[in-house]
Structure 1
Amino acid sequence: MAAPALALDDGCLLDKCADQAKPDQNPAAAPETKPAARYGGPAPSGSFDFYVLALSWSPGFCESHDGAGAQCEPGSKRGFVVHGLWPQYEHGYPANCGGSPTVSRVALDRVKGLYPDEGLARHEWRKHGVCTGLSPADYFDQVARARALVTIPASFETAASEETIATLNIERAFTEANPRLRPGMLSVACDRGMLQEVRICLTRDLREFRACPEVARRSCHSREIRVPAPY
């Protein structure tokens, strides 16, 4: 099946959906489910196997979107920012599961500085957070926990000029910076030969990185990709 195009503020190439599993009272501790693969539809809240933490390379997003939005203000110097924390199935992902779209100020304060703007944080709650079975505050706590688990490679933290980098070397930089992260536990997303995101798979209790063959297979197929510098 061909993967749909990715719009960072509007959809997720790797989010897939299923609706066969029952919701759990404690989503973080629940056993993994084995639903049929579905792509882009609702499911019972709280039924999923693992998380994908999507880290957007902000300069790539801004170039692809003509510098739109507060994320792309000159001088912001943003590198990797949180796009989202997505509940996933082994084959599929839940999205738009219903529930309250409202996010309180207290909940948003828990991820202040992680998302590039509050509009994206609210969107991610409505599309993905509602599927976790958590409250907005608890979901954003999970986002903060997931982000804290990942060390950004120093070469990306200090990037000052555009480079062309082998896709494999981007993955390798992340596995070297995060000793328990292995090939097959992450993927690199690109658009028109330019870095867009790095997506890292985590257990649903956020204790470990974990293998995610379907996610890894969808890594960018370009041998080398352009990595624009923060500005």
Structure 2
Amino acid sequence: MKKFTSTLSLIVLVVLAIWQYFTDLTKTKNQSPSPVIKQMKQTKASEPKFEPQFETKRTDIEKSAVKNPNVFANYDVIMRDDPIGQNAKAPVDYYMLALSWSPGFCDIQREKYGDQLPYSSQYQCGNNRTFGWVVHGLWPQNANALSVTDHPRFCKGDLPALPKDLLARYLAISPGEQLLQGEWEKHGSCAFDFAQQYFAKEQELFSSLKLPNQSLSRNELFRWMKQHNPQLKNAYLGASRNELFICYDKKWQVMNCQSK
């Protein structure tokens, strides 16, 4: 009898031990992990995933536009596409204000393209446009230049597209977003810290001039300008087809343009 009782007690103890084991196991599964385990999991989750690093390839226009995501750079200018290229080391000795007779320029554009004007000319030469003289650009010049490539150009490299609202302020005197963008990148950046300073100086010089409202021959144009603008009376001016050039020293006083 005692032997039977001992055996029964042993069985009961084994059953209780098994029940206690599974009960503890269930509780452990339902409990949150220990702080140590939790910290290990968080550390593992926060570790950056290693991936091979490759340079994202972009076109030049994308590289320029991405610097200013608020504009669509269909008017941006790409330095590598410029036929003259960069000259960031040329000195700035004086300035040349280049004015363009818009009707003559637009006639050439229509002869070349018909009704399919390029984007760069649409604002200036589109239907119902009545521009007269406009600002082509304000160009820093090297007094010892022997060719156009010797003058300062793209001094700060390929710059990002300017905001449309900035360009819009100057379309009345320089009619084209691409024109303004290009003149800033190619010329303005060689003498001005900010595009707005450059455009404001163009506007100031342009506003100081009286200009004829009709097409004139070269000599007629020079006579008219000197007659109606006393500051130009003794200055040597320059001209090419549909363009007039007025030169200024570094103190913005009118000076003779070089004949070469």
TM-score (norm 1): 0.62
Q: In angstroms, what is the RMSD of aligned CA positions?
A: 2.5
Q: Distance in 1 between matches of 2:217 and 2:210?
A: 20
Per the alignment, residue 148 of structure 1 pairs with 207
With over 3 angstroms needed to count, the CA separation of the structure-2 counterparts of 1:106 and 1:202, relative to structure 1, is: farther
Correspondent of 2:189 among 118, 130, 140: 130
Residue 184 of structure 1, CA deviation: 4.5
Residue 59 of structure 1, CA deviation: 0.9
Which of the two has higher C-alpha Rg? 2
Q: Distance in 2 between matches of 1:55 and 1:95?
A: 19
Percent identical pairs in the alignment equals: 32
Q: Distance in 2 between matches of 1:59 and 1:179?
A: 26
> Deviation per CA, 1:92-146, whole angstroms, max 9, x where unpaired?
3211212433323464254241111112101111111111142112111211122
Per the alignment, residue 97 of structure 2 pairs with 53
Runs of 5+ consecutive residues of structure 2 not aligned to the other structure: 1-76, 78-83, 146-150
Q: Distance in 2 between matches of 1:172 and 1:110?
A: 32
Give the AA of the match of 2:230: P
Per the alignment, residue 209 of structure 1 pairs with 254
Per the alignment, residue 64 of structure 1 pairs with 108
In proportion to residue count, which structure has more helix?
2
SS at match of 1:94: coil
With over 3 angstroms needed to count, the CA separation of the structure-2 counterparts of 1:75 and 1:104, relative to structure 1, is: closer
Q: Distance in 2 between matches of 1:119 and 1:60?
A: 19
Are 1:182 and 2:233 matched, yes or no? yes
Correspondence list, 1:1-231, <5 A: 41-44=86-89, 47-66=91-110, 68=117, 69-92=122-145, 93-99=151-157, 100-105=159-164, 107-152=166-211, 156-157=212-213, 159=214, 165-182=216-233, 184-190=235-241, 196-206=242-252, 208-214=253-259, 217=260
The count of aligned residue pairs is 163
SS at match of 1:204: coil
Runs of 5+ consecutive residues of structure 1 not aligned to the other structure: 1-9, 11-38, 191-195, 218-231
With over 3 angstroms needed to count, the CA separation of the structure-2 counterparts of 1:106 and 1:44, relative to structure 1, is: farther
TM-score (norm 2): 0.56
In proportion to residue count, which structure has more strand?
1
Give the AA of the match of 1:177: H
Higher mean C-alpha displacement, 175-184 vs 100-109: 100-109
Per the alignment, residue 24 of structure 1 pairs with none
- Is contact 2:235–2:254 with CA below 8 Å preserved after alignment? no
- Is contact 1:200–1:209 with CA below 8 Å preserved after alignment? yes
